[in-house]
Amino acid sequence: MNKNIMNCKFVCWLTVILAFNGTVNAASDISRTFHSGKPNILMILVDDLGYTDLGSYGGNIDTANMDQLAAQGMRFSNAHAYPSCAPSRASLLTGQDPHKVGLGGQNGVTPVGVSPKASGYSSSLEGEFTSIAALVKKQGYRTYQSGKWHLGHEEHQLPAAMGFEKYFTLIDAAASHYDDNLAVSQRVSPTGRGSYIRNGEIVSELPEDFYSTKNFTDEIINMIEAGKDDDRPFFAYLAYTAVHDPLHAPDEYIDKYRDAFSSGFEELRQERVRGLARSGLISDDPVATEKLKEIPYWKELTSKQKEDLSKRMAVYAAMLDYMDEQIGRLVKHLKEIGEFDNTLIVIASDNGAAGTPMTVYTEGNPDDIVWQKANYPLRSIDDYGRKGSFPTMGLPNAQASSGPYHNVKLSLHEGGTRIPLIVKVPNKNSSGIINTFFHLSDLYPTFADYAGADTNDQNTLLGVSFYPILENSDISVPDRGFGMEYMGLRSYRKGDWKLVFVPEAIGGTGDYALYNLASDPGETRDLGRDHPAIVEDLAIAWFDYASENGVIVVPMSLVNEHYNRIGSYFLGIDWAE
């Protein structure tokens, strides 16, 4: 590990454990008291950001601007999303479980045996809901969107129909970060190109100097600037495609991290765990961690393989460093126009770090693999990060990025769902850590409360408002159960207990496993045999969750068989040629 980078990143964080009294049962039950002026709301969603990558979360990447926001606001130690992009985005914007609004599937992929024509599994928005943008718009907000969408291509699924007045949008799941605008595969984007729109008009060509992170930031700044003389507050949703693969970044940013990860992913993971403890986000006590069997030992790798994984991490760090600079530019603009103090700023990831190889987007289709190789011809380590290359983070690096938490994106283990979450509260400096369980769907009622919107008529909202806690109220969120389903995987958590089913082929046990997250946050000890009554109670609770949210239950045996066939698409390593 590069010690200079490490030393500059680990700062002393003031840890504040909030004391809560009282309870609140749901967003609609909150007694609201608002300050006279409604705050602006800025939601920044980062794509595939690992739990420990930010400096304020124990990382060694230069993220000074986000760290400064964390120092002025609240960090969440126990925040969660769904384990993949689209379900998380659907839940954030609609306040619903993804199965209620069509995102039980993604990119046309559904759980084994479930038809994409089944209700809730269309892979695009459907059903009845009021988007958060439409809700706050009724409260007098200007509404802006810039960046990734991934919720459908039909007119009624696009930003305008969801209440956004101005937008610059990549409709697809992912694309090249440069002006070539290549899709990640033809299965994901049949045209082979990303689909951009601006305010209802198709954007057929991107400028030659296009780089996604810069241009998405330019667009949101321009929208805010154009409305700065408008008395209405704004709601801005900035959804970066960084740090989603293909990993692309300017050479000078990559050079900054060229030697930062040369000690390998095992040391990186250990250092990230120590960094979390120094940051106050986990206990100082030793934390047991689980190793995916598909991850090799560093000492067993060839020198080229070590160089390969180190360079991927350097490009990943460069992307995040660049994005942090752009967030700093946006914050500077808010300060220049006098809107920073009165803006609620939220920064979150949509899932855990991504450990899949590039072939995951092809699902093994030979024609699509040929297309990928033809359109991303730069396959050497030296070319990583440049236009025409397609480096992924790599499974070992992604597990290191998850820190002590087991597994990565696409899994319902903690490494797939636990996310960094920073909230800068409007008109106050309140640095601290919130350890209460939080889910991305809680942002919908939280934003609604800050905007003064009434959600009493939305009895299917999934989340709970954290407005009272953020405003240092004496009201707390009570212990609540929370269920998830993703592609046949299952989890249900309540209190310190978590029941999870993940196939053995992708890092699980192939059956229900029970973990006590208070004593074993790394999910290393299955306590199911010791506590069969808890397993039964949580399993019943999961089936209740599934019934209430339109989840089609797939037998575990069928899910296991399916992942035995396709598991290599998820946990392989696509080494450089």
HSE toward the beta carbon, residue 547, CA cutoff 13 A = 6
What is the rounded distance in angstroms from the CA atom of residue 455 to the CA atom of residue 445? Answer: 7
Helices (H), 480-575: 532-548, 556-571
Axis crossing angle, helix 212-226 with helix 303-336, rounded to the nearest 10: 10
- The tokens for 412 are 């319902």
Query: Crossing angle for the helix pair 265-278 and 303-336, nearest 10 degrees?
Result: 40
Q: Are 1 and 305 in contact (CB under 8 A)?
A: no
Helix intervals (H) in 138-209: none
Residue 242's CB: how many other CB atoms inside 10 A? 27
Nearest to 45 by CA among 351, 465, 424, 433: 351
The answer to whether the CB of 486 falls within 8 A of the CB of 82 is yes
Widest pairwise Cα distance in the chain? 63
CB atoms within 10 A of CB 377: 11
Query: Catalytic residue at 85?
Result: yes
Cα–Cα distance, 373 to 538 (Å, whole number): 45
* Cis-peptide, bond into residue 98, ω within 30° of zero: no
Rounded Cα distance between 430 and 446, Å, is 17
Cβ atoms of 245 and 360 within 8 Å: the answer is no
CB 523 within 8 A of CB 415: no
Q: Is the peptide bond before 243 cis (omega within 30 degrees of 0)?
A: yes
HSE at residue 461, side-chain half, CA atoms within 13 A, is 30
164 vs 131: CA distance, rounded Å: 10
Residue 265 gets which letter from DSSP? Answer: H
Neighbours of 337 (CB within 10 A): 13
SS3 512: strand
List 8, 12, 35, 85, catalytic entry: 85
Does residue 403 contact residue 51 with C-beta atoms inside 8 Å? yes
What are the beta bridge partners of residue 513? 500
Distance of alpha carbon 501 from alpha carbon 299, whole angstroms: 32
DSSP 513: E
* Burial call 356-369: b when 16+ CB within 10 Å, e when fewer: bbbbbbbbeeeebb
- Choosing from 8, 80, 99, 150, the catalytic residue is 150
Strand positions, DSSP E, 62-151 = 74-80, 142-148
- Per the DSSP assignment, residues forming a β-bridge with 434 are 76
Q: Counting every residue, how long is the chain?
A: 577
The answer to whether 150 is a known catalytic residue is yes
Catalytic residue positions, numbered: 85, 150
